[in-house]
Amino acid sequence: MILLFSLVLVGCRSMYSVVEFEVLEPATVQFPDHVKQLLFLNRAPLSIDIWSDQNQEGMDLRQLVLLDTLIINNLHRGVLEVLRNSPIERFHRPIWLSDRRVDTAFLDDRILTRREVQEVCDSMSGDAIICLEFYSVALDQHIDYYTDDLEIRNQYFEVSNRLKWNIYLPGHPKPFDTYSTVDTLFFPAITEGAFIPFAPGVDMLRELFYESGFKYGTYLVPVWNLANRVLYRGKDDTLKLAVKHTDEGDWESAFSIWNHLIGSADSTLVSKAYHNLAVYYELEDKLDTASMMLDLALEQDSLDQAIIYREELDVRLLNRMDIVKQVGGKR
């Protein structure tokens, strides 16, 4: 199932016109059907060791706690942004918990036991625990100079992190899913000798961990992503007229033109008309009909754009059952 969200004309070329729209793509994680209430548990150790050696210099406990609060809040904010915009309504309101580990060795085998998972889920009426096991962070500065003097040519800041998440389900002796990631953002301060306004270090951390949380959210639930399709306009006046109708939002008039052109003796023109009809049906969320139109287009002429479209549409057809399962049949 592919859900059309919006349709916008984004550009034209002499041979093609491009339509852009949003489609729902499945999540990587396939939660069992019984999972309704998500619990997010922060177990990441609160220790100065999570910072790079350079960043540890001069950092006291108060600074460590303030930075940790900023990091965790923005990590959660990124995840929640995705969950609340997901069509899976039962995941819109997760419960946030904290039980920080006291070890500082970041041992991978320090996972929740089966008993611990059951106790937490029973006490909070949860069906799955999404656990932040640990994170580490580094903020570095890079400078290079002009060769003739000590004048700074380029200066930029690099902020990076490493995170590990586990998903636990009651009754399972091992994590249901494990996700590890390394994310990095760069912030220029001087480029070719010119100063560029840049964010303070705390804002760099805020942006990095929000992006990391957002990325993990897209791993958990289906998300809307942009897709684009090509419409043939070519040299034929009727194709140009049809695309003019789409520019004006009159897709039914364009459909009539393309439907008429499939009776032409020109096989290339017929192929283009079938291709455009496939786009029309895809935007109507009739993927099987779109696939059939595209097959007919390729039978007439193996146009490059049609071959590319075939690959893209095949992926969406394969994703359809995952979307139905994850969303629960809701449109």
Highest mean pLDDT among 103-112, 166-175, 195-204: 166-175
Exposure letters 253-283 (e unless 16+ CB within 10 A, then b): ebbebbeebbeeeeeebbbbbbbbbbbbbbb
Handedness of CA 40, 44, 50, 51 (dihedral sign): positive
- 331 strand-pairing partners: none
User: Tell me, what's the pLDDT at 16?
Assistant: 81
CA nearest to 85, candidates 185, 172, 3, 179 = 3
* pLDDT tens digit sequence for 202-237: 999 999 999 999 999 999 999 988 999 999 987 778
> What are the structural domains of the chain?
7-26+225-327 (1.25.40.10), 38-221 (3.30.160)
pLDDT at 136 over 80: yes
User: Tell me, what's the pLDDT at 147?
Assistant: 75
* pLDDT tens digit sequence for 253-273: 999 999 999 999 999 999 999
pLDDT at 3 over 50: no
- Who's near 90: CB < 8 A, 6+ residues apart? 36, 37
* pLDDT tens digit sequence for 150-185: 787 788 889 999 999 999 999 998 999 999 999 999
Read off the pLDDT of each residue in 109-114 and give the average, rounded to a whole number: 84
User: Tell me, what's the pLDDT at 105?
Assistant: 56
Q: Which range among 179-193, 212-226, 295-309 shows the weakest confidence by mean pLDDT?
A: 179-193
User: Tell me, what's the pLDDT at 11?
Assistant: 42
User: Tell me, what's the pLDDT at 154?
Assistant: 82
* pLDDT tens digit sequence for 39-89: 999 999 998 989 998 899 888 999 999 999 999 999 999 999 999 999 999
**Whole-prediction pTM:** 0.80
User: Tell me, what's the pLDDT at 247?
Assistant: 87
pLDDT at 5 over 50: no
User: Tell me, what's the pLDDT at 14?
Assistant: 55
Are 233 and 256 in contact by the 8 Å Cβ rule? The answer is: no
pLDDT at 31 over 90: yes
pLDDT at 10 over 60: no
Residue 303 or 220, more confident? 220
pLDDT at 330 over 50: no
User: Tell me, what's the pLDDT at 9?
Assistant: 37
User: Tell me, what's the pLDDT at 13?
Assistant: 44
